[in-house]
């Protein structure tokens, strides 16, 4: 979307280095579609996870993809324009809509106004001049007393006869119910069609068996049991006759097809149960050429029950009661007799109505229930326009309340830059380490979020938040003031969401970036102190371990003093003595040189020495401060939101001044006098302040004295003359630590 020939004159405000459109009048809202999309701060945002009414965002989300985009925001504003007389009322952000603001000059607006009045009348507020979101928020209450509400779903109560109500209940139980606008379970035309289609298919399938009963059900109701018995042993019996044919083909195969003796020995060494499942994989019976399958004796014990069921349910009824063995031809005939039943069962339609029973299915098909329910659904759909108008009343009230706030968090980010209105993505406040962090965003996947959010150049702490009720949430909190000395993984704090509920918060991950230039100045020295502490701790641990080893060795030697041999006298190594001498000489040279440098430094005027030390501090801290300054200038909200599914269009900077408002450091209230009565306080140490004061005084005195001002002001009673104490610029550039001596000035 690009700007067209609209003559509307937009006004902009600048915040965070970004020019953002203002919304001050109805014309601003009306011409939103003409605002160049490149000037929108955001191009898309998620429907969930924001401090914004999800139902309103769902109404704006036209394609229902859980994201709100630019065309959908424009469409929402245009819809509001079609149904409001003055778009300027959007700035009121009120959930109370005056009826006289509804545009009744359009057909949809006229229907909406009529619906609003009808709702108020149903609620006993016929004389009300305004309608609120509370009046329409509970649509179930509005439609509770109506049989039809235009959604195409009818509950059980819509039917007038008990017989039809029973059918509707059966449809719900077998096909699943749908929620009516009244909040009750009901059915739609799709559910009805599916139900009766299943009834018809199941009835036709049953009639197929009835038409060919002699073939499909040779045993009547017992056919199912016979087919199940055959199916249970089919593979095993086929295996038996296959092995017998192999034995008939070559007698040498008999040993192999009957299993080896060693396999029986392994099983026989164990405790066997009555069913002997250990031999379930063995043949059904002893394999011999052309041997019929015995049905009573000589059966594999693991299959004895199944063969017994086959004899009782299938062989005896179909082949004769005197059958005690089964030839391969008998087995083929038995399978052929149950094959039609198996084929009929395989053709059974996949339905959910079978629990109703065939008698009930045919009873329902014999009625006019399908047509009667269709008429009820048609009656309900006839009121669709009226019911939709009622829903649109809620839409208009929500837009009246929420559209301006959405624009201030989508087209511009005025809420983010205005402390009076927290932005929609700010989910609460984190209290931790003596600070309150206002810039907290909800995070679904901390690892995925951190991969992109690190580009924001902000110090982020990811916290797992929990409540006693078991609710869990992860947030990313930006620390934009103070320091990071005590921000560590595992530290605990308290998070308050926008509803005022408190959550236990624990830091689980940190993205380290500079918080302030002040912190960056001290960072190198703090790192040095930490490194020294770590090295001292390591050396102390090593020394302690060595000391323990020496003590242990001494104890061992004392215990074995009578067995130890006398130590041999040590020989003096001339090379070692020479090396020690060289080392001592080197150390002496180093100390001499160091003393020379120190003497040279102290030979400088005191003010020059102060400048040298200040320069040294600047050299050490300068790079850290420069990097911090650059990163603070690049601190950007965009990656933090993009990682949450937003599409931020511009660089939404977080300047230092805004950072101080987003993270407040603990301070005593104005006018509070701190108590000095702390019996556990450490003794006051004044020497650092006195030393600093002395350095400042000495620097000023030395500087003034260098240019002879002290000598001039005291008429020669204090200070030295410029000719003997001053230092030239050339000497400073050459690095000479000595004073320059000039000839005494001649008296005039």
**Residue 362 contacts by C-beta under 8 Å, 6 or more apart in sequence?**
203
Angle (CA) 690 694 697, round 5°:
140
The answer to whether residues 16 and 365 touch, using CB atoms and an 8 Å cutoff, is no
Q: What is the mean pLDDT of the chain?
A: 83
End-of-domain residue from the set 339, 372, 407: 407
**Residue 156 contacts by C-beta under 8 Å, 6 or more apart in sequence?**
165, 168, 169, 172, 184, 185, 186
Q: Which pLDDT tens digit goes with each residue over 65-75? A: 999 999 999 99
The answer to whether residues 479 and 459 touch, using CB atoms and an 8 Å cutoff, is yes
Position 167 in a domain:
yes
Q: Which pLDDT tens digit goes with each residue over 469-494? A: 999 999 999 999 888 888 999 999 99
Of the ranges 140-154, 184-198, 612-626, the best mean pLDDT one: 184-198
Position 439 in a domain:
yes
pLDDT score at 199:
94
pLDDT score at 276:
61
Q: Do 139 and 248 share a structural domain? A: no
pLDDT at 302 over 50: yes
Q: Do 480 and 444 share a structural domain? A: yes
The answer to whether residues 138 and 317 touch, using CB atoms and an 8 Å cutoff, is no
pLDDT at 734 over 80: no
Position 664 in a domain:
no
Cα–Cα distance between 143 and 122 in angstroms, integer? 10
Q: Do 109 and 164 share a structural domain? A: no
Q: Quick one: tokens of 590?
A: 């180093």
Q: Which pLDDT tens digit goes with each residue over 428-439? A: 999 999 999 999
Give the predicted TM-score (pTM) of the model.
0.61
b/e map of 411-437 (b: 16 or more CB within 10 Å)? bbbbbbbeeeebbbbbbbbbbbbebeb
Residue 518 buriedness (CB in 10 A; 0-12 / 13-18 / 19+):
middle
pLDDT at 147 over 90: no
Of the ranges 89-98, 507-516, 602-611, 735-744, the best mean pLDDT one: 89-98
pLDDT at 296 over 50: yes
pLDDT score at 740:
45
Phi, psi dihedrals of residue 568, rounded to the nearest 5°: -75, 145
Q: Do 124 and 17 share a structural domain? A: yes
Number of domains in the chain: 4
Q: How many CB atoms lie within 10 A of CB 544?
A: 10
**Which of 21-30, 271-280, 284-293, 671-680 has the lowest average pLDDT?**
271-280
pLDDT at 732 over 60: no
Cα–Cα distance between 240 and 259 in angstroms, integer? 13
Q: Do 392 and 376 share a structural domain? A: no
Q: Do 331 and 240 share a structural domain? A: yes
pLDDT tier for residue 3 given thresholds of 50, 70 and 90: very low
End-of-domain residue from the set 490, 513, 536: 513
pLDDT at 743 over 50: no
Q: Which pLDDT tens digit goes with each residue over 410-420? A: 999 999 998 78
The answer to whether residues 320 and 143 touch, using CB atoms and an 8 Å cutoff, is no
Q: Quick one: tokens of 664?
A: 């407040």
Position 544 in a domain:
no
Cα–Cα distance between 309 and 222 in angstroms, integer? 13
pLDDT score at 535:
82
pLDDT at 748 over 60: no
**Which of 206-210, 367-371, 436-440, 616-620 has the lowest average pLDDT?**
616-620
Reduce the secondary structure of 474-514 to three states and give it as a string.
EEEEEECCCCCCCCCCCCEEEEEECCCCEEEEEEEEEECCC
pLDDT score at 1:
46
The answer to whether residues 440 and 424 touch, using CB atoms and an 8 Å cutoff, is no
Cα–Cα distance between 279 and 425 in angstroms, integer? 68
Find the domain containing 97 and state its range.
12-145+384-407
pLDDT score at 388:
74
> What value does the mean pLDDT take over residues 716-726?
57
pLDDT tier for residue 738 given thresholds of 50, 70 and 90: very low
Phi, psi dihedrals of residue 42, rounded to the nearest 5°: -125, 150
pLDDT at 78 over 90: yes
- DSSP characters over 631-644: HHHH-BSHHHHHTT
pLDDT score at 741:
44
Position 33 in a domain:
yes
**Residue 239 contacts by C-beta under 8 Å, 6 or more apart in sequence?**
283, 284
> What value does the mean pLDDT take over residues 242-259?
85
Enumerate the H helices of 604-721 as residue ranges: 606-634, 638-642, 656-662, 687-706, 709-713
pLDDT at 564 over 60: no
Closest CA to 166 of 190, 195, 143: 195
**Residue of 78 and 149 predicted with greater confidence:** 78
In terms of DSSP bridges, do strands 459-466 and 293-294 run parallel, antiparallel, or are they unpaired?
unpaired
Cα–Cα distance between 142 and 120 in angstroms, integer? 10
Strand order in the sheet with 440-443: 440-443, 472-479, 459-466, 502-511, 492-497, 428-432, 435-437, 663-665
Alpha-carbon torsion, ordered 71, 77, 82, 85, to 10 deg: -160
The answer to whether residues 82 and 108 touch, using CB atoms and an 8 Å cutoff, is yes
Position 111 in a domain:
yes
Could you tell me if residue 66 is left (phi over 0), alpha (psi between -120 and 50 degrees) or otherwise beta? left
DSSP one-letter code for 250: -
Closest CA to 99 of 68, 74, 124, 132: 132
Q: Do 161 and 110 share a structural domain? A: no
pLDDT score at 463:
95
pLDDT at 744 over 80: no
Q: Do 159 and 135 share a structural domain? A: no
Quote the percentage of the chain above a pLDDT of 70. 82
Q: Do 18 and 133 share a structural domain? A: yes
pLDDT score at 584:
74
Q: Do 278 and 254 share a structural domain? A: yes
Q: Do 363 and 335 share a structural domain? A: no
**Residue 561 contacts by C-beta under 8 Å, 6 or more apart in sequence?**
none
Residue 54 buriedness (CB in 10 A; 0-12 / 13-18 / 19+):
middle
Q: Do 447 and 478 share a structural domain? A: yes
**Residue of 675 and 573 predicted with greater confidence:** 675
> What value does the mean pLDDT take over residues 203-230?
89
The answer to whether the Cα torsion of 94, 98, 100, 102 is positive or negative is positive
Q: Quick one: tokens of 678?
A: 């702390």
Phi, psi dihedrals of residue 339, rounded to the nearest 5°: -60, -45
**Residue of 579 and 571 predicted with greater confidence:** 579
> What value does the mean pLDDT take over residues 316-323?
88
Closest CA to 170 of 194, 140, 151, 146: 194
Cα–Cα distance between 445 and 509 in angstroms, integer? 12
> What value does the mean pLDDT take over residues 724-746?
47
pLDDT score at 534:
78
Position 420 in a domain:
no
Q: Quick one: tokens of 210?
A: 């009835």
> What value does the mean pLDDT take over residues 693-708?
75
Cα–Cα distance between 630 and 627 in angstroms, integer? 5
Position 465 in a domain:
yes
**Which of 269-273, 349-353, 612-616 has the lowest average pLDDT?**
269-273
Radius of gyration, alpha carbons of the chain = 47
The answer to whether residues 240 and 287 touch, using CB atoms and an 8 Å cutoff, is yes
């Amino acid at each position: 979307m690009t700007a067209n020939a609209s003559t509307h004159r937009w006004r902009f405000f600048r915040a965070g280095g970004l020019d953002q459109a203002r919304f001050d009048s109805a014309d601003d809202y009306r011409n939103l579609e003409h605002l160049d999309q490149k000037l929108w701060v955001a191009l898309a945002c998620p429907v969930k996870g924001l401090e914004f009414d999800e139902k309103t965002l769902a109404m704006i989300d036209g394609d229902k993809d859980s994201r709100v985009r630019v065309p959908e925001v424009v469409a929402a504003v245009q819809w509001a324009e079609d149904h409001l007389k003055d778009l300027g009322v959007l700035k009121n952000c009120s959930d109370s809509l005056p009826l006289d603001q509804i545009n009744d000059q359009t057909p949809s607006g006229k229907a909406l106004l009529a619906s609003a009045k009808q709702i108020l009348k149903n609620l006993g507020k016929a004389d009300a001049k305004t309608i609120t979101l509370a009046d329409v928020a509970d649509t179930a209450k509005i439609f509770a007393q109506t049989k039809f509400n235009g959604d195409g779903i009818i509950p059980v109560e819509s039917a007038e006869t008990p017989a039809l109500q029973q059918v509707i209940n059966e449809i719900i139980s077998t096909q699943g119910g749908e929620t009516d606008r009244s909040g009750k379970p009901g059915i739609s035309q799709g559910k009805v069609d599916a139900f009766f289609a299943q009834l018809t298919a199941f009835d036709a399938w049953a009639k197929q068996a009835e038409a060919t009963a002699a073939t499909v059900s040779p045993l009547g109701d017992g056919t199912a049991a016979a087919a199940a018995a055959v199916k249970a042993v089919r593979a095993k019996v086929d295996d038996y006759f296959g092995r017998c044919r192999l034995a008939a083909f070559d007698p040498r195969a008999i040993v192999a097809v009957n299993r080896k003796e060693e396999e029986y020995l392994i099983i026989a060494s164990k405790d066997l149960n009555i069913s002997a499942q250990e031999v379930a994989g063995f043949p059904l019976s002893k394999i011999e050429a052309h041997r019929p399958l015995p049905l009573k004796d000589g059966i594999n014990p693991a299959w004895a029950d199944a063969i017994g069921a086959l004899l009782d349910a299938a062989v005896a009824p179909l082949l004769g009661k005197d059958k005690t063995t089964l030839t391969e031809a008998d087995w083929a005939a038995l399978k052929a007799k149950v094959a039609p039943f198996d084929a009929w069962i395989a053709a059974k339609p996949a339905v959910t109505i079978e629990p109703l029973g065939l008698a009930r299915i045919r009873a329902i098909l014999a009625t006019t229930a399908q047509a009667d329910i269709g008429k009820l659904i048609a009656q309900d759909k006839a009121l669709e326009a009226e019911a939709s108008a009622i829903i649109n009343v809620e839409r208009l009230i929500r837009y009246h309340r929420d559209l301006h706030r959405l624009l201030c968090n989508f087209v511009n980010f005025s809420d983010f830059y205005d402390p009076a209105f927290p932005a929609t993505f700010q989910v609460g406040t984190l209290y931790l380490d003596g600070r309150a962090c206002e810039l907290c965003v909800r995070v679904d996947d901390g690892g995925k979020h951190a991969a992109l959010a690190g580009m924001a150049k902000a110090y982020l702490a990811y916290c797992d938040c929990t409540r006693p009720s078991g609710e869990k949430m992860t947030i990313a909190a930006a620390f934009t003031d103070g320091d990071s000395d005590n921000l560590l993984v595992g530290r605990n704090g308290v998070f308050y969401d926008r509803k005022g509920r408190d959550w236990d918060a624990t830091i689980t991950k940190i993205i380290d970036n500079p918080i302030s230039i002040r912190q960056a100045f001290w960072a190198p020295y703090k790192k040095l102190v930490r490194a020294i502490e770590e090295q001292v701790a390591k050396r102390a641990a090593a020394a302690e371990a060595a000391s323990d080893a020496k003590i242990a060795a001494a104890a061992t030697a004392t215990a074995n003093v009578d067995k130890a041999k006398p130590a041999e006298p040590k020989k003096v190594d001339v090379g070692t003595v020479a090396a020690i001498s060289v080392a001592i000489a080197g150390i002496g040279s180093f100390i001499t040189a160091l003393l020379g440098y120190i003497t040279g430094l102290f030979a400088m005027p005191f003010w020059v020495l102060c400048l040298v030390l200040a320069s040294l501090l600047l050299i050490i801290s300068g790079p850290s401060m420069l990097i911090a300054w650059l990163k603070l200038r690049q601190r950007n909200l965009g990656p933090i939101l993009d990682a949450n599914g937003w599409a931020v269009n511009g660089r939404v900077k977080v300047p230092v001044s805004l950072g101080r408002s987003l993270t407040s450091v603990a301070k005593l209230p104005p006018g509070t006098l701190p108590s000095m009565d702390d019996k556990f306080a450490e003794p006051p140490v004044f020497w650092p302040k006195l030393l600093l004061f002395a350095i400042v005084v000495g620097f000023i005195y030395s500087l003034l004295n260098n240019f002879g001002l002290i000598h001039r002001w005291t008429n020669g009673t204090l200070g030295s003359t410029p000719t003997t104490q001053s230092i030239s610029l050339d000497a400073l550039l050459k690095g000479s630590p000595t004073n320059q001596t000039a000839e005494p000035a001649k008296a005039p």
